[in-house]
Structure 1
Amino acid sequence: MNKTTTQALVIWASLLVVSCDSKKSPSSGEQSFTTRIQQIPSALQEGLKAHGGLEKWAKYGTLSYTVASKSIPEKHLIDLNSRKVLITTDSTFTMGFDGKDVWVSPNLAAYPGSSATFYHNLVFYFFSLPFVVADPGVNHNALPDITFDGVAYSRISITFGSDVGESPDDQYILWFRKSDKLLSMINYSVTYFDPANASKFNAMVYEEWQTVNGLKVPSKWTSYKWENDSLGDKRGATLITDVSFQEGTPDATLFQKPETAEIDNKGN
């Protein structure tokens, strides 16, 4: 799953914050923000607006939520400006991204998955669509409208710059329902473990939404195999609860690696 570079994200977040403060005079940052929005395909512009607007998203510096569908629920805390991450569980492991390294406490073996680096912002990325595809280094291409299972959709193809994130060869297709402009489904490829998978798509259906601080964000999505341009076997569902947005940013020390934690060497 693509993880956009922290440096680029910080720059973009800074532009967003400038553009959303009506008390500040117009600046080059604000003009850059406006220009970029105008360059995004109209279906994505409409989708962002339907989900509460990119300007509103940019007002917040802190996001937290609970991944309730895990056998051991996880609490995720994200600094939306730096994209630093802290994932905590009651007893199993704590994972963090301090802006440079991904670490796990008490050790890497405590995390039951295959790669902490791959996982640390995976849920955040799915949760934060469509907002995060307005990040710099993201390429947008409008695809022909399509009717799927009797429902009309607008679609946007997403690719990434060669220097963006851990997996720049990942690809996405975002499906927006034409009736309400909401994100309904995505196709996505995962190249972190094998670059040859760039065009091998999976699917994810957004099934339930919740409105928090004026932003429409998911409360449930289900993953599927994507076979013959159709939904295949179900892979599993993700449930998100306790969503909170705050305008201020979290204490930076929360993301620092504890002395006993181990850094993921990013080996596949």
Structure 2
Amino acid sequence: MRIYSKALIILVLLTTIACKEKSKTEVEAKANPAETESSQYIPQSWILNRVEKAKSKLEETEAGSIVWNAMEAHGGLAKWYSNGPLSFRFNYQPVDGSTQRDSYQTIDTWSNKARHTSTTDSTAHYGWTGDTAWMKAQDSTAFKYDTKFWALTPIYFLGQPFILDGEGVNLEVLPKKMYKNKSHDVVKVTFDEGTGDAPDDYYILYFQEDNHLLSAIRYIVSYPAYFKDGGHLPEKFMEVIGENRVDGILFPTGYKTHWLTEDEEPGEYITKIDVSDVHFENNLPQDFFDMPEGAKVIE
């Protein structure tokens, strides 16, 4: 009788352990990084797997190694994804008085989804679901700019260098540059055809040689909706301003954008950008990045 009781207890324990392992496996199976789940629901094992793949790929080249060192210096790619979706205010202010672009936004760093809210009307929103651009606003003039283009544009600046871990990203080492009396490693970033809405965009990133921190970003805008026959705006030079460490990740407090001169130096000052209210979100509704009822699709 005692032998039977012990055997029964052991059987129950083994069954309980098996059920727990099955549940864990089912949760991880749902967290396919190629699909649309937000990073706040992604198991740590998926995050570590993505980080290890990114590290292996980046360290194969000199340019990639520079970028990996920069990721580490800015807080680490694992921390970037583990913190969950990123929220911040990005206030883009052209000095000539042209259209200001100012919104509170939350970005899913895992799958590049976005939701913006007007800073003057909390009921006005727009976003990107991963497939669809949308807007919901009672006043049709709530956003006087191309919201489809702008849905992910700010994260391509604020998310440097972490956004360079994915597919379709090409990295090239350029000659070192002296900037603000410091030597900088310089990496040019281009994109494969079909990557994003503007694959002809490029970025040239200045990383301080001694501490690997990002000091400046040169870039062009080649968005096809603006340049239907090809081409792009002249190259710009963006100074990275200030430091703000949030949950282990180092962010700037703003940027100053200039036209680039023929000598590849910052020229005419054209845009002031303030970055504030930076924090990571850990408790968003699962449908947070979905297109809300009553929103209209932006083509």
Band the TM-score falls in, shorter-chain normalisation: 0.7 to 0.9
1:157/1:69 CA distance change after superposition, 3 Å: closer
Q: How many residues align?
A: 250
By how many angstroms is 1:261 displaced? Answer: 2.3
Q: Which amino acid aligns with 2:109?
A: L
Please give the secondary structure, in 1, of the residue aligned with 2:72. Answer: helix
Which position in structure 1 is the counterpart of 2:157? 126
Which position in structure 2 is the counterpart of 1:84? 113
Which position in structure 1 is the counterpart of 2:71? 48
Q: Does 1:158 align with 2:189?
A: yes
Within 5 Å, give how 1:93-108 maps onto structure 2: 93-106=124-137
Which position in structure 1 is the counterpart of 2:236? 202
Contact 1:62–1:245 (8 Å) recurs in 2? yes
Which position in structure 1 is the counterpart of 2:166? 135
Which position in structure 2 is the counterpart of 1:239? 274
Identity %: 24
Contact 1:106–1:262 (8 Å) recurs in 2? no
Please give the secondary structure, in 2, of the residue aligned with 1:122. Answer: coil
Which position in structure 2 is the counterpart of 1:65? 88
1:107/1:141 CA distance change after superposition, 3 Å: farther
Per-residue displacement from partner, 1:201-240 (whole Å, max 9, x unpaired)? 1111101110011110111111111121111111121111
Contact 2:108–2:114 (8 Å) recurs in 1? yes
Q: Does 1:174 align with 2:205?
A: yes
Greater relative contact order structure (CA < 8 Å, 6+ sep): 1
Contact 2:113–2:127 (8 Å) recurs in 1? yes
Contact 1:9–1:81 (8 Å) recurs in 2? no
Q: Which amino acid aligns with 1:91?
A: D
1:100/1:49 CA distance change after superposition, 3 Å: same
By how many angstroms is 1:189 displaced? Answer: 0.8
Per-residue displacement from partner, 1:65-90 (whole Å, max 9, x unpaired)? 12356678521112222222111124
User: Given the two structures, how large is their TM-score scaled by the length of structure 1?
Assistant: 0.82
Q: C-alpha distance in 2, partners of 1:15/1:127? A: 22
1:225/1:9 CA distance change after superposition, 3 Å: farther
Contact 2:237–2:258 (8 Å) recurs in 1? yes
By how many angstroms is 1:111 displaced? Answer: 4.3
1:33/1:153 CA distance change after superposition, 3 Å: closer
By how many angstroms is 1:169 displaced? Answer: 0.6
Within 5 Å, give how 1:8-23 maps onto structure 2: 17-18=44-45, 20-21=47-48
1:129/1:44 CA distance change after superposition, 3 Å: same
Q: C-alpha distance in 2, partners of 1:120/1:76? A: 9
Q: Does 1:211 align with 2:245?
A: yes
Root-mean-square deviation (CA, aligned residues, Å) is: 2.9
Deviates more, 1:79-88 or 1:65-74: 65-74
Which position in structure 2 is the counterpart of 1:221? 255
Per-residue displacement from partner, 1:145-192 (whole Å, max 9, x unpaired)? 122353211100100010200000101100011232110001101110
By how many angstroms is 1:108 displaced? Answer: 8.6
Larger Rg: 2
1:34/1:152 CA distance change after superposition, 3 Å: closer
1:210/1:72 CA distance change after superposition, 3 Å: same
Per-residue displacement from partner, 1:2-61 (whole Å, max 9, x unpaired)? xxxxx86969x799953655xxxxx7x675344223235222122111111112212122
Q: C-alpha distance in 2, partners of 1:156/1:180? A: 15
Please give the secondary structure, in 2, of the residue aligned with 1:121. Answer: coil
